Chains A and B, each alone.
Chain A
């Protein structure tokens, strides 16, 4: 189980990286925690691997206006412990606690996880729920893709050949907002059988906005506005069940996944409200 041959390029700048990515069948190597197994199992065999680990300008986590910017080679572990993330977009850390094991988080990158567009990925759900923007460098110049337009299918994004994701920016959530991430996996750190991220806005004790993103039950994370049904759990469940389409596999049946979603949606919304009240007190 060894990767097949590839040409290895380690660019020193973003333009150099983009240039190398123009070559036929190229692929970006950041943390490599999802890509390397695919290469070793030969599920992917790129001709050119462009290693961006030397691009230190992409390692940052910073506040840019009303957005939190995370660079393409910031490791999960750095994001998980960063004070700016904790203060401004706590949902990222709530979700990251479920991402793999600490050893994988030491190398894997949060932005790489989003670019990988795994439907079971916690961070894809976070990006979709928050309406994050994916920053891309291309030969014709930089562009931004809204998360809603980015995730196209399982492991498939709207990123074009030759484009490099340089970072992702998340809208900062003031203290009126609370969030939560809940999932069930066979073993902590494994892929979720089903998971839910929730975001609620609480003003004077009233819920003013309520949205959820469900992951691991469809090809892309599903964002659902539930402000109209959040108080009535039966209506809430009906609305959600009509939109999801989980599969049966060796880990769980589709029915079991539906049952998990029903429970996790309520749990996540409840926790998100508690979180908002906690942030306001």
Chain B
């Protein structure tokens, strides 16, 4: 069999331009983890159901496992690693998860953090019902949903109180 054709994919990840030569079938989630060694983005079901691989593409949450890296060459991506403050302290949603015990095993957490981060940008004052709806596309096998909902509401409180968040 002929060697597989490789494409140079350049993507700005968390503000830093990064690149790698990958086959066209490389999923964006694998591109981040295997090629760029950014393992914060987790891969669960690998067919778009669980939400663990959710990242921000040009600021909007998308499933990393449902996009080919080559298809979004030239774009800007934010991963969970990019949601820490510039001084290394936790971003608002990360801090809210910490304070509200929003994670147990932590496997699903990166997808929740990115999803909630983007959600709160557009809906900074969710009700509990809206918070529940906001995370409906993400699965947590520890079933820690109650505390995840608390984390959404806590993050909204932190935003209101003017806590620092660089993103």
Residues of A at under 8 Å CB distance from B?
Answer: 1-8, 10, 29, 32-33, 36-37, 39-41, 49, 51, 53, 77, 100-104, 106-107, 187-189
Asked whether A103 lies within 8 Å of B47 as measured between CB atoms, the reply is no
Partner pick for A187 among B30, B68, B136, CB 8 A cutoff: B136
A-B contact pairs, 20 of them (CB 8 A): A1-B46, A1-B47, A10-B71, A32-B67, A33-B66, A36-B47, A36-B68, A37-B47, A39-B25, A40-B46, A40-B65, A51-B70, A101-B137, A103-B51, A103-B63, A104-B66, A106-B60, A107-B62, A107-B63, A188-B133
Asked whether A103 lies within 8 Å of B54 as measured between CB atoms, the reply is yes
Q: Tell yes or no: B79 within 8 A of A by CB.
A: no
Q: Tell yes or no: B149 within 8 A of A by CB.
A: no
Asked whether A8 lies within 8 Å of B7 as measured between CB atoms, the reply is yes
Indicate whether A32 sits within 8 Å of B68 (C-beta atoms), given known contacts A1-B46, A104-B63.
yes
Provide the bound-state CA to CA distance between A187 and B70, in Å. Answer: 32
Asked whether A2 lies within 8 Å of B25 as measured between CB atoms, the reply is yes
Residues of B at under 8 Å CB distance from A?
Answer: 4-5, 7, 23-25, 27, 30, 46-48, 51, 54, 57, 60-63, 65-68, 70-71, 115, 119, 133, 136-137
Q: Closest residue to B133 on the A side, CB-wise?
A: A188
Asked whether A189 lies within 8 Å of B48 as measured between CB atoms, the reply is no
Asked whether B71 lies within 8 Å of A53 as measured between CB atoms, the reply is yes
Asked whether A36 lies within 8 Å of B137 as measured between CB atoms, the reply is no
Query: Which residues of the other chain, B, contact A33 by a CB distance below 8 angstroms?
Result: 48, 63, 66
Closest beta carbon of chain A to B138's beta carbon, Å: 8
Provide the bound-state CA to CA distance between A102 and B4, in Å. Answer: 35
Chain A-chain B contacts (Cβ-Cβ < 8 Å), number? 85
Asked whether B47 lies within 8 Å of A41 as measured between CB atoms, the reply is yes
Query: Which residues of the other chain, A, contact B23 by a CB distance below 8 angstroms?
Result: 5
Provide the bound-state CA to CA distance between A36 and B116, in Å. Answer: 24
Provide the bound-state CA to CA distance between A40 and B70, in Å. Answer: 16
Provide the bound-state CA to CA distance between A189 and B30, in Å. Answer: 25
Closest beta carbon of chain A to B166's beta carbon, Å: 23
Query: Which residues of the other chain, B, contact A39 by a CB distance below 8 angstroms?
Result: 25
Provide the bound-state CA to CA distance between A188 and B137, in Å. Answer: 9
Asked whether A2 lies within 8 Å of B137 as measured between CB atoms, the reply is no
Provide the bound-state CA to CA distance between A188 and B133, in Å. Answer: 9
Indicate whether A189 sits within 8 Å of B65 (C-beta atoms), given known contacts A33-B48, A36-B48.
no
Query: Which residues of the other chain, B, contact A36 by a CB distance below 8 angstroms?
Result: 27, 47-48, 65-68
Query: Which residues of the other chain, A, contact B115 by a CB distance below 8 angstroms?
Result: 103
Provide the bound-state CA to CA distance between A102 and B57, in Å. Answer: 14
Provide the bound-state CA to CA distance between A196 and B133, in Å. Answer: 23
Provide the bound-state CA to CA distance between A101 and B62, in Å. Answer: 10
